[in-house]
Structure 1
Amino acid sequence: MVVIKWHGHACFEVVSSKGTVIVIDPHDGYSLGLKPPKVQADIVLITHEHFDHNAYGVVAKPSAKVISTFVGEKVIDDVIVKGVEAYHDREKGRRRGKISIYKIVVDGVSLTHLGDLGHELDASYKNAVGDIDVLMIPVGGTYTIDSKAAWNVINVLTPKAVIPMHYWVKGLNLPLKPVEDFLAIKPSNWNVIKIDSNQIVLEKSNIKSNTIYVLTPPD
């Protein structure tokens, strides 16, 4: 059983059945017009060193392992972490730099977080990342791929389920598009499940294929 909690923007908390807490791309809240994430992490993964993704001091326990822009594969506690290099723009990082796509395997569930992905992906990324149960994908445009490009990426990576992120929510002071733009162009064979919470609990056996889980922004 894996608990996934969205702390707004691109920040996710993942908790394993053993209680290991992983936080990906923490923000400080205030800089974005959001509330800061309230979580104490054992592992912090940073996809790139921009202020709205690298506020590890807000979430890290004193003993936490903090990993930034990692490329490769390692096991930390009960979590498998794989980092794959990608880019924040369409020009191989010349405008906004490189990022790391993180795939983590927790209790047998494979989760992939695309960070501030700024370009579409080809089959080489599918080969590098492998099977994905849940894909956390930016859809808000401006600094990342937009809704249309996000669907192209989904078609390449073929995850079972998707959690959209990095889109405009109430209070956010960045010029991003809302999640409705992404949902409006979904293929007819994809289903939307709106969760009345910023948290979802999943087991590998209950992840529904072709499902978009839309989490509610934290209060």
Structure 2
Amino acid sequence: MTDARPWFRRLAGPALAAMLATVPPLATPASAQADPLRNCPPMLAGLDGLIHRAALAQDEAALTFVGHATFLIESAAGVTVATDYNDYVRPDIVPTIATMNRAHRTHYSLAPDPAIAHVLRGWDPQGGAAEHDLEVADVRVRNVTTNIRSGAGTAYDENSIFVFETAGLCIAHLGHLHHVLEPEHLVALGRVDVALAPVDGSWTLDTEGMIETLRRMGPRLVVPMHFFSPLRLEQFLEAASPHFEIARAGSASVILSRDGLPQRPTILVLDGPGR
């Protein structure tokens, strides 16, 4: 069994983290490194010259909910990632890496900041499936494409689930997911520790389908996004509560480590606009 510390700590205010210190951590099986679906290899070169705002240990990553479908992920080496980077909801820094999806203009930018070193589009403008596998210092970013919309209006491979591997964590941002994931998607994703999931239940996958997808993925932690209103968020939490513990961070930012993830699958609500 791993260290019995809390499974996350807040950037400000220790009350909730202290309360959750009694949550059993996730054990790491001795066979973990032999499992071909465990896609979190250590990253090596390029650690010089990076600056980060959060004081992080090598086994930690900071996660901040910026709003809508945008999160800022910060690594111990100072790599920063903005998810579903767009022209309306942005972090207050220029990220090292920006990922984007195509469903709506609140998920991509036509003019991303030229200072961003790596802009990864979740679709291929030339057609077909986008393919990304990028390593920057202690962060690896890869993607698994999915479809948007359905029926006659289905747009194939127009959305990407981006997986961010850092500090031994596999963090999957589901983007504008419109359908339940099939076995081939799950195999391509591999292990998912933290899922950043749209829970609006209408513009993206319906609530029942999202809960089923999350249960198939098996993350220990789910962070909701893309919920538009507190009422809609609470409706999702109520529907998901038979399958997940519910926790509220009381902050827009948390610091996570894999060794401390909760044993029972948990939904962690971060403060911030859901729009």
TM-score, length-scaled by structure 2: 0.69
Q: Could you tell me which residue of structure 1 aligns to residue 213 of structure 2?
A: 153
| Cα-Cα RMSD | 2.4
Code of the residue aligned with 2:84 in structure 1: it is D
Q: Does structure 1 residue 18 correspond to structure 2 residue 77?
A: yes
Q: Indicate if the aligned counterparts of 1:147 and 1:181 stay in contact, CA closer than 8 A.
A: no
The structure-2 alpha-carbon separation of the partners of 1:36 and 1:16, relative to structure 1 and needing over 3 Å to count, comes to closer
AA paired with 1:62? A
Partner residue, 1:117: 177
Residue 89, structure 1, aligned to residue 149, structure 2: yes
Q: Report percent identity of matched pairs.
A: 25
Partner SS for 2:105? coil
> How many residues of Structure 1 are paired with residues of Structure 2 in the alignment?
207
- The corresponding residue for 2:255 is 201
Offset at 1:5? 0.4
Q: Which residue of 2 aligns with 1:217?
A: 272
User: Is 1:143 aligned to 2:203, yes or no?
Assistant: yes
| Separation (CA, whole Å) in 1 of partners of 2:90 and 2:71 | 12
Gaps of 5+ in 2: 1-59, 123-129
Aligned equivalents of 2:197, 2:116: Cα separation in 1: 29
Q: Structure 1: where are the runs of 5+ without partners?
A: 30-34, 171-176
The list of structure 1 runs, each at least 4 consecutive aligned residues, that deviate by more than 4 angstroms after superposition, is none
* 8 Å Cα contact 1:103/1:129 also seen in 2: yes
Q: For the Cα contact (< 8 Å) 1:198–1:218, is it kept in 2?
A: no
In the aligned structure 1, how far is the partner of 2:92 from the partner of 2:185?
33
Distance (whole Å) between structure 1 residues aligned to residue 243 and residue 163 of structure 2: 25
Q: Paired residue for 2:99?
A: 45
**C-alpha separation in 2, matches of 1:116 and 1:86:** 9
Indicate the larger mover: 66-75 or 110-119: 66-75
The change in CA–CA distance for 1:199 and 1:143 in structure 2 (over 3 A counts) is same
Distance 1:76 1:36 in 2: 21
* Pairwise CA distance, 1:28: 3.0
Q: TM-score, normalised by structure 1?
A: 0.85
The correspondence of residues 160-175 of structure 1 with structure 2, limited to 5 A, is 160-169=220-229
CA positional deviation for 1:39: 2.4
Q: What residue number does 1:65 align with? A: 118
